[in-house]
Structure 1
Amino acid sequence: MNQTTNLEQTVLFMTGSTGFIGKETVKQLVEKTDVHMLLLVRSEQRARTVLESYGVRSLERITFVVGDLSVQGLGLAPRDHKRIREANVILHVGGTMDITLERETAEKIFRHGAREIAQLAEDIQRSGGLRHFIHVVGFMSPYGQGSEQEEQININHLHSQESAYEEMKFQADGYIREHAKQNGYPLSVVNPSTVVGPRPTGETEQTGGIGLLIGAVQKGFMPVVPGGSSYWLPLVENDVVAETLVFLTKDDSPIGGTYALLARKENSPNMKELLHILTKQLDVPKPAGGALPLSWIQKLLNVGGTRISGIPAQSLAFITDRTFQVEETEGLLKRMGRTWPDIREQLPFITADLDYRLLPKPEAEHIPNDYIRIRRGNLAMLGWEGEGEPWVIVHGLLQCADDLLPLGSQLRKLTGNPVWIVDLAGFGRSPVHQSRDAFTGQVNALVDALGEMQFPIKLVGHSVGAAIAAAALKQSGRADIRLALLQPAADNVNEGNNGRLKQMLRLPRRVVRTLLRSKSQRSWARMFSIDSSVQIKGSIVDRSAQRAYGYLRSPRIAGAHVDLLRWIHLGHKQELSFWGQYGNLEQTNNATDLLIVWADKDREYHFPSKLKPGYKKVDVPHGHYFPVFQFEQTAEILMNWAENSHMNNDRQGY
């Protein structure tokens, strides 16, 4: 059935608009429809901030209505209640995603909230007619799946479960279904499976679903396959959920139904395959203990396992051996003109995102937070849009893209250009690369990412990121990329200072990774303090040390560090100088205006003397990590270089 334009303006009353699903739904409604939205929120100012931060570009067709699902009458002022009764579509997405909710709280939010929303639906139906009620509730709901007898069996099973969160959500489902029958309005129930981040980035801010499993694997608490190969964890991206909700909202002649948003079981990864994908991305061994029944794992968690692992026993409710009816869903997808996406394609990005989110971060973050996130190739990027030729910045070791946000923000402020900071493969939010060689894999990933940016670029690399940027530029053969190298590091190590490190790097990879992760936060702070030759506030050094220590809690990020450290210290033969090979970029690329900024207080590296002549050099009296600690000065140097293509080729002091 094709949707047609109704002469009646769609006025949507929506709950849960600032949640994980809700934000994406509002964004798509703004971009794809002319629907006017009445959004139930607890705080208008907070809701505005949340939606604008998520990328909702216009709030013109949005009216915020202050209220609360857990309060009698939704806590609405009389004027707002009258306004809401003008809606002809209700989209009920509200409810906290917290499987550990106490029963009383869960009952207030879900069951009480359902009664209040149903009463509102009844009022609208009586006064002018409710075109459509759309209710979003979890995929394990016993309602709408099979015959009445099968439903009753599932309901009886529900009452035997321990999770008040699940029970109250599903009681709300049953109540609204019965109310819709009694009052004669069309009801569509959308049952998303475990929700993960949208394409292309996979940003999964809701860490209570698959994030619990990833956290367990990350910490080594998943040595077995829960349930075995007959079990699975159904997953759906939140943009797919939002697209479905938007389609139903616009439907002028809704027929109602139950739509389980999940793929067919046979087309989805089972638990064994899923764990193999996760362990590969997290750089940890596959489960060696075979399969273990879910009931046994639940008992272990209930007798102390939750306290040790941080995994609630209730979280296992999302792992199932059930087969779900998806015929109605497939019919809806056909009407929408789309097919079900394969979650395997997105899992590496979801895994990297959640792995990074679950790491400890400094309590006080004095870094810009107005950036947006994009993906190019298989790499995550943070930054800002702007006018003119973009900057692309590549970080070094003990860093992720976040560490160079102050530099990127200052560059954008000075130039107005777009600025994008790359997370290297296996670092930050980027999945691990698939190459056997660490450096080659990083270069290939960057080349692919730059290949999606077919316009002039100013490419900046720091430390080993400078070597990766230089090699990527040469491999790309592009003549529209200008290159700036900040403290470039490859085979220019001061060997006298690194004998002990070199010996350590010859040990087995897992041993090296363990030793690297064993370094204390204090030792990283000491290293950063020694590296800087100027007075830096202790809090800045401490935050950098906290971040470095936190990054290395991830086996994935720690492994990526080990691989690049080995490449730097063990990967070169004396007769094959890296900078001898890649240092003649000025000659191989006519458009390249090569800048090198060198900090002469660096104790670990010396200037790469084998670079071919023709570059521009600026000396600074700092240590190796000056782009992090002296970001304002670094941005000014880069801006001057970009604006003045006729810089003197002689060495420039700063």
Structure 2
Amino acid sequence: MSIHNSSSSLNAGGKTDSNPAKNNIATESTTILMTGSTGFIGKEAVKQLGHSEVQLLLLVRSESKARMVLNAYGVTDFSRITCIQGDLSAPGLGLTKADRERALQANVIIHAGGTMDVTLQPKVAEQIFMNGARGMAELAEEIQRKQGLRHFIHVVGFMSPYGRKDSPPISSTNEDVGDKSSGQKSLISKAFHSESAYEHMKFEADRYIRQHAEQHSYVLSVVNPSTIVGPYPTGATEQTGGIGMMIQAMRRRRMPVIPGGRQHWLPLVSNDVVARTLVFLTQDSNPSGGTYPLLSRKADGPDMKELIRLLAAELDVSAPRWSVPLPMIHAAMKAGGTKISGIPPESIAFITKQEFEVQQTERLFRRMGLNLPEVSELLPYVTADLDYRFSYPAQEDLPQSWTRARKGSLAVLLHEGQGEPWVIVHGLMSSADDMIPLGDALWSMTGNPVWLVDLAGFGRSPVHRNKIIGAAFKGQVEAMRSVLDEIQGPVKLLGHSVGAAIAAAVMQESGRENIQLALLQPVWGASKDGMQRLISRLPRRMLQGLLSRMTPQQVAGQLKRADVSEINPTLLKGYARRVSSGLKSPRIAGANADLLHWIQSHSNDKVSQTSADAQRTLMVWGTNDKGYARPENIHSSVQHVELPYGHQFPLFHAEETASLLVEWQMKRGYAKK
């Protein structure tokens, strides 16, 4: 089941209620005081709230940093956003008198602030969560007294014991609201034992705000997100805790057992669904309050054994077979296992046997026109995205004007423009990010849209679904066709190295007459390098392991041996470092190994094109490539151009490559006239 339908990137569920009840949309003006606006949930909520007429008061530690973070996330209109400088851990939230007066103008509060770090020390966690809860509750009390607080919305982790039928009481006759005594052990400490001070203090804050709302008679809704992953459709998960810790351990082959087994599960929800829930609650003119766990029913999601199997398949590693009880794993981690796995013992607190009461959430989601969130369809993209982040920890933010997207089944970098798009397919040992200089050059020269595609298993794209042995090339062609299916009009398709062979096969199989094809250093047959031919014959797992151990120096040495032309040392060093980092991922190393096997087994003299396709094709060949031979038996109607460079010229000579491609397009335009 998908968490979204095709009509909107914000609609959840394969099916929606055919006649959802309307929300009681507030007619009075809405001013929202919000904490956590630069967090993983908060940014998405601010972005969605930007489509409404609400006024936003954002409590932030630094206005300049907040604006930069929000702008990078796609928030561009700040006309209805006011930043108020403060700090959840500071006395009085660190507000000046003037800023406190501004905060008191709100009639809705979203409290979603707090550092996401399961390893927080108890004192730090208490400062952030309990001090923040007291400060926000004091503001709520004053707003309620002066003009009325329409709604307080608190975001708390899904493992909080409060708001359930069997919840511990939120107060007792011997405990006052706001009691700061460290000597008195709270009820939550007795009801819920957790090694994580992060979780413990979040739940204390939940208890405190529930009690405060009850005493001061304002409406409280508590939203309990499960483990957060990135939004539909990309699954871009910048928050690498949670499921990311498990993915990191698995990609490093440091998870030998299944935590908990079939009776356990890890509930997941995407941050756009959480944000949409918050937005919907802010719009209610007459809220009733409630507790809303954001997760699927346990029976509808994968159990831990199935989840680990799915992640292993996406990461291209062997799945563990045996299950071990969580207490034993926790004890092993405390005894030193964390040094081996890299996972703190607190991280397994999110794996649970529990079934959660979702009736209130279901009623709310019916009003929203959604089904309960279920992220199985998104999980491959989440896994690939997190694997990419772990593979390139020093990766810089995308250059301005580039955005990450998903087209068909693949991850794509997009540069908006006018006219026919350039669609660029990278080659071996590369990803879409490596083609950004070429994409920038083409856009600056033509103004056309540019799509940089990550092949299946490369960059941020999931592995392809064709699991038949030896079908790697066919799987890549199928995945690329799904990308082009999203472009109805003419397209300029560029492929580099083995990406050129994939692009040519896509053109041939599609039967489309509106594709123009540029083959940049196309690879159809085995390398001329004896060592590469030898290693390409190794069994897949052995080749995958060999690639994963390549150092930047070895990558650079191989490039130099295959290219007799001069390569810019800075570009070469940076590229070699990126290649070596990427190959540490079993997923990326496996995708490269599969295509190396195809190159080794493929005959160099079988380049099949129709005459019509050939007339729309350009082949650019670098004459200094000593690693691969020029493909034979190319159709006579294909236009040929030579450059005095080696195999990687589209990466190291992007401006010159772009100029040549633009000239080709201009000549084709004149020929049509």
TM-score higher than 0.5 here?
A: yes
Task: After superposition, give the CA deviation of every residue in 1:197-239 in whole Å (9 maximum; x if it has no partner).
Answer: 1111111111101000111111111121111100000000111
State the partner residue of 2:6: none
- Tell me, yes or no, if structure 1 residue 450 matches structure 2 residue 484: yes
Paired amino acid for 1:129: G
- For residues 52-451 of structure 1, the aligned pairs below 5 Å read 52-149=71-168, 155-156=188-189, 160-288=193-321, 290-362=322-394, 368=399, 370-435=401-466, 436=468, 437-451=471-485
Percent pairwise identity: 51
Distance 1:148 1:204, change over 3 A: closer
Tell me by how many angstroms 1:645 deviates.
1.2
CA contact (8 A) 2:161 2:167 kept: no
Tell me by how many angstroms 1:532 deviates.
4.5
CA contact (8 A) 1:12 1:89 kept: yes
Partners of 1:108 and 1:151 in 2: how far apart? Answer: 21
Tell me by how many angstroms 1:367 deviates.
7.4
Structure 1 unaligned spans of 5+: 649-654
Paired amino acid for 1:376: K
CA contact (8 A) 1:383 1:408 kept: no
Partners of 1:501 and 1:158 in 2: how far apart? Answer: 61
The DSSP-based 3-state class of the residue aligned with 2:265 is: coil
Paired amino acid for 1:183: H
Q: Alignment partner for residue 615 of structure 1, among 616, 623, 638?
A: 638
CA contact (8 A) 1:99 1:315 kept: yes
Distance 1:156 1:83, change over 3 A: closer
Partners of 1:148 and 1:565 in 2: how far apart? Answer: 58
State the partner residue of 2:38: 18
CA contact (8 A) 1:529 1:541 kept: no
State the partner residue of 1:578: 606
Q: Alignment partner for residue 668 of structure 2, among 642, 645, 651?
A: 645
Paired amino acid for 2:116: M
Task: After superposition, give the CA deviation of every residue in 1:349-389 in whole Å (9 maximum; x if it has no partner).
Answer: 111111111114457x5973541011011100012111111
Partners of 2:187 and 2:158 in 1: how far apart? Answer: 12
Distance 1:367 1:174, change over 3 A: closer
Partners of 1:341 and 1:318 in 2: how far apart? Answer: 17
- For residues 628-639 of structure 1, the aligned pairs below 5 Å read 628-639=651-662
Partners of 2:370 and 2:128 in 1: how far apart? Answer: 34
Partners of 1:635 and 1:157 in 2: how far apart? Answer: 67
**Deviation larger for 207-216 or 408-417:** 408-417
State the partner residue of 1:502: 533
Larger RCO, structures 1/2 (Cα 8 Å, 6+ apart):
2
How many residue pairs align between the two structures?
635
Task: After superposition, give the CA deviation of every residue in 1:422-475 in whole Å (9 maximum; x if it has no partner).
Answer: 000011111111112010000000001110111211111100001101100111
Partners of 1:370 and 1:157 in 2: how far apart? Answer: 52
Paired amino acid for 1:462: H
The DSSP-based 3-state class of the residue aligned with 1:325 is: coil
The DSSP-based 3-state class of the residue aligned with 2:50 is: helix
The DSSP-based 3-state class of the residue aligned with 1:644 is: helix
Distance 1:206 1:494, change over 3 A: closer
Distance 1:223 1:41, change over 3 A: same
State the partner residue of 2:9: none
The DSSP-based 3-state class of the residue aligned with 1:181 is: helix
CA contact (8 A) 1:145 1:151 kept: no
**TM-score relative to the length of structure 2:** 0.91
Distance 1:472 1:486, change over 3 A: same
CA contact (8 A) 2:266 2:350 kept: yes
Task: After superposition, give the CA deviation of every residue in 1:394-446 in whole Å (9 maximum; x if it has no partner).
Answer: 00001011111111122112211111100000111111111120100000000
Tell me by how many angstroms 1:647 deviates.
7.9
Tell me by how many angstroms 1:151 deviates.
8.0
CA contact (8 A) 1:362 1:546 kept: no
Distance 1:524 1:21, change over 3 A: same
Distance 1:646 1:8, change over 3 A: closer
Task: After superposition, give the CA deviation of every residue in 1:69-107 in whole Å (9 maximum; x if it has no partner).
Answer: 111222222222111111100001111111111112111
Task: After superposition, give the CA deviation of every residue in 1:593-627 in whole Å (9 maximum; x if it has no partner).
Answer: 31111111001112223110122222111110111
CA contact (8 A) 2:245 2:343 kept: yes
State the partner residue of 1:651: none
Distance 1:529 1:589, change over 3 A: closer
Structure 2 unaligned spans of 5+: 1-20, 172-185
Paired amino acid for 2:606: F
CA contact (8 A) 1:533 1:621 kept: no
Distance 1:66 1:529, change over 3 A: farther
Q: What RMSD in Å do the two structures reach over aligned CA positions?
A: 2.0
Tell me by how many angstroms 1:55 deviates.
1.4
The DSSP-based 3-state class of the residue aligned with 1:634 is: helix
Partners of 1:647 and 1:466 in 2: how far apart? Answer: 25
